[in-house]
Amino acid sequence: MRVHFIGIGGIGVSALAQYYLAKGHDVSGCDLVRSEITDALKKKGAKITIGKNTARKDANLTIYSPAVPQNGRERFSTAMMGYPQALGKLTKEYFTIAVAGTHGKSTTTAMLSLILTKAGLNPFVIIGTKLKEFGNTNFRAGGKPIRNFAKTLLCGKNVLVIEADEHFASFLHYWPQIIVITNIEADHLDYYKNLKNVQNAFDKFIKHLPGEGKLIDLRNQSKLMGFVNQSIDVEKLRKILKVPGEHNILNALAALTAARALKIPDKVSFKALSEYRGAWRRFEVKKAKAGNVDFTLVSDYGHHPTEVKVTLNAMEEKWPKNKIWCIFQPHQYQRTHYLFNDFVKTFREASIDRIIITDIYDVAGRENKKFKNTVSSEKLVRKINSPKIIYLPKNDILGYLSKNLPNKTILAVMGAGDIYGLTKEFSYGM
């Protein structure tokens, strides 16, 4: 069967493409721009077209990214569906564990996946980041459990672990047996409009659990106490985790709780968590150089005010004696508009030495034009009104760092857009 993917370079869609490759199908795909992800898929055997999002007449199944505009979804194939619908079909075929939440989804999914792998449950994994343990990719091909700690619970099915995205209410297409919720905040307000609608969507998702299903909800500490002796576990996790930050202790706590629901022994879980070194662009630390200046780079995907705050706090916790700088690229004009005051508060309260805010990343096909005239990074910097915070166009940042960045600084490059490209301009391997 030929499966064609429109928008194959997306972090979720690319993982699903790898699933079909692993199952032996003929996979093709297209995207507007070439990336590390499309290059990796090509090496694995996918036929990739770059520059235009189009369907194929010879495809038996076409799967498109929710981010692809309607005019890129020509109906040439026998069957055509969006990525959430396609992943939703898989959740009915497997014993599915879905990790949801405004923040921490990728890290919690990664932690839980590594626990399940070490426990011998041999899970399939679809995750929104790349893991070194998965061959520096966002997918793990699983199969029949090697060891089964939950035979009656799994009902003879193989295990699938997914990161369940709430944007466009995508997770309402998923039907898991276990749901993990890390937190819920106002986000994706271009779609939801307000926090109440976000909460309502999560409530609907929770109702997808079957009668024997399990909910692990970090918002409800009293229910969680039924699974976890929190005070003891938190202290143990604080000692063994290699990734910094209180938020990662909560992520690990969620993964540990899910593992206990699957009857996995604690010694297996704690061993896996102690070995977790982090994921691609989730507080990813490297030694780097800009010009003649040596510094430590923290590459991070965070683009919500809360994510920015916890990352900056974790940097101060890990490097209390170093100077700390941050380069931040706001993601999407309408998100910046809806969260403008939260960004102002986050950056005003930040106690690090320098923050550079660059231009808002324009998400093609998903922007409301009216917001481009009402919000900008310059306006955000003026509203924050702090001498530590400046605006710079992206193309000027490297030159500024070469002249002004103090030696041995800890530098965070944050955002979900093309600011990641800046990290490729640095030199490494010292």
Intra-chain end-to-end CA distance of the chain, in Å: 47
Over residues 197-206, mean pLDDT: 95
Q: With 70 as the cut, is the pLDDT of residue 367 above it?
A: no
Give strand ranges (E) for 241-292: 284-290
CATH of the domain at 310: 3.90.190.20
Q: What is the DSSP letter of 227?
A: T
DSSP annotation of 98 reads E
Q: What is the DSSP letter of 216?
A: E
The domain that holds 16 is classified in CATH as 3.40.50.720
Encode 160-175: b = buried (16+ Cβ within 10 Å), e = exposed: bbbbbbbbbbbbbbbb
CA separation for the pair 85, 75 (Å, rounded): 16
Q: Which of 237, 258, 275 is the last residue of a domain?
A: 275
pLDDT at 77: 67
| pLDDT band at residue 222 under the 50/70/90 scheme | very low
Q: Is 173 part of a structural domain of the chain?
A: yes
Residue 258 and residue 110 share a domain? yes
Measured between alpha carbons, how far is 280 from 10 in angstroms, rounded to an integer?
15
Which H or E element spans position 28? strand 26-31
Last residue in a domain, options 58, 82, 106: 82
Q: Is the dihedral angle over the CA atoms 111, 113, 114, 118 positive or is it negative?
A: positive
Contacts 24+ apart (CB under 8 A), 300-304: 300/412, 300/413, 300/414, 301/106, 301/129, 301/414, 301/415, 301/416, 302/414, 302/415, 302/416, 303/329, 303/330, 303/331, 303/335, 303/414, 303/415, 303/416, 303/417, 304/102, 304/103, 304/185, 304/187, 304/339
Q: Strand (E) positions, 39-131?
A: 47-50, 61-64, 79-82, 95-100, 124-131
- For residue 258, pLDDT over 70 is answered with yes
Give yes or no for residue 415 having a pLDDT over 80.
Answer: yes
How far apart (Å, rounded) are the C-alpha atoms in residues 166 and 213?
A: 20
pLDDT-derived band at 363 (thresholds 50, 70, 90) equals confident
Is there a domain that residue 88 lies in?
no
At 205, the pLDDT band (50, 70, 90 cuts) reads: very high
pLDDT at 225: 47
Per the model's pLDDT, the better-predicted residue between 281 and 144 turns out to be 144
Confidence of residue 116 (pLDDT cuts 50, 70, 90): very high
Token look-up 């640095």 returns 426
Q: Indicate whether 296 and 407 sit together in one domain.
A: yes
- Give the model confidence (pLDDT) of 292-348 as tens digits: 889 999 999 888 999 899 899 999 999 999 999 999 999 989 889 999 999 999 999
- Is residue 290 a contact partner of residue 86, using CB atoms and an 8 Å limit? no
Asked if 127 and 110 count as a contact pair (C-beta separation under 8 A), the reply is yes
Residue type, position 1, single letter: M
CA separation (Å) from 420 to 280, 299, 302, 334, 380? 11, 8, 11, 21, 21
Same-domain check for residues 309 and 411: yes
Would you say residue 190 has pLDDT above 50? yes
Q: Of the residues 51, 82, 113, which one is the last residue of a structural domain?
A: 82
Q: What are phi and psi of 420, to 5 degrees?
A: -55, -30
Among 146-150, 210-214, 308-312, 394-398, whose mean pLDDT is lowest? 146-150
Q: How many CB atoms lie within 10 A of CB 178?
A: 22
Q: What contacts 30, CB < 8 A, 6 or more positions away?
A: 4, 5, 6, 7, 8, 48, 49, 50, 52, 53, 54
Are 267 and 298 found together in one domain?
no
Q: Binning pLDDT at 50, 70 and 90, where does residue 210 land?
A: very high
Residue 84 carries which side chain, given as an amino acid letter?
P
Q: Indicate if 237 and 351 belong to the same structural domain.
A: no
The rounded distance, in Å, linking the Cα atoms of 204 and 22 is 32
**Residue span of the structural domain in which 40 resides:** 2-82
Question: Both tokens of residue 412?
Answer: 């965070």
Does residue 43 contact residue 21 with C-beta atoms inside 8 Å?
Answer: no
Q: Two tokens at 113?
A: 């996946």
Are residues 237 and 379 both part of a single domain?
no
More confident position, 151 or 416: 416
Domains of the chain: total:
3
Within a domain: 341? yes
CATH of the domain at 101: 3.40.1190.10
Q: Tell me what pLDDT residue 106 has.
A: 92
Q: What are phi and psi of 160, to 5 degrees?
A: -125, 125
429 lies in some domain: no
Q: Same domain, yes or no, for 72 and 109?
A: no
Give the mean model confidence (pLDDT) for residues 168-187: 94
Q: Where are the beta strands (DSSP E) in 69-195?
A: 79-82, 95-100, 124-131, 137-140, 159-163, 178-181
Integer-rounded Cα radius of gyration of the chain = 22
Residue 221 has pLDDT above 70, yes or no: no
Residue 165 in any domain: the answer is: yes
What predicted TM-score, i.e. pTM, was given to this entire model? 0.84
User: 380 and 299 in one domain?
Assistant: yes
Evaluate whether residue 122 is within a structural domain: yes
As a whole number of angstroms, the distance between CA 67 and CA 253 comes to 32
Same domain, 178 and 295: no
Confidence class of residue 151 from pLDDT cuts 50, 70 and 90?
A: confident
Do 47 and 195 sit in the same domain of this protein? no
Q: Are residues 147 and 130 in the same domain?
A: yes
As a whole number, mean pLDDT of residues 388-406 equals: 93
Tens digit of pLDDT for each residue in 36-80? 899 999 999 999 999 887 888 889 999 998 877 766 566 666 788
Considering the domain architecture, whether residues 234 and 135 belong to the same structural domain is answered as yes
Tell me whether residue 171 is in a domain. yes
Distance in angstroms (rounded) separating the CA atoms of residues 427 and 407: 15
Q: Measured between alpha carbons, how far is 162 from 195 in angstroms, rounded to an integer?
A: 24
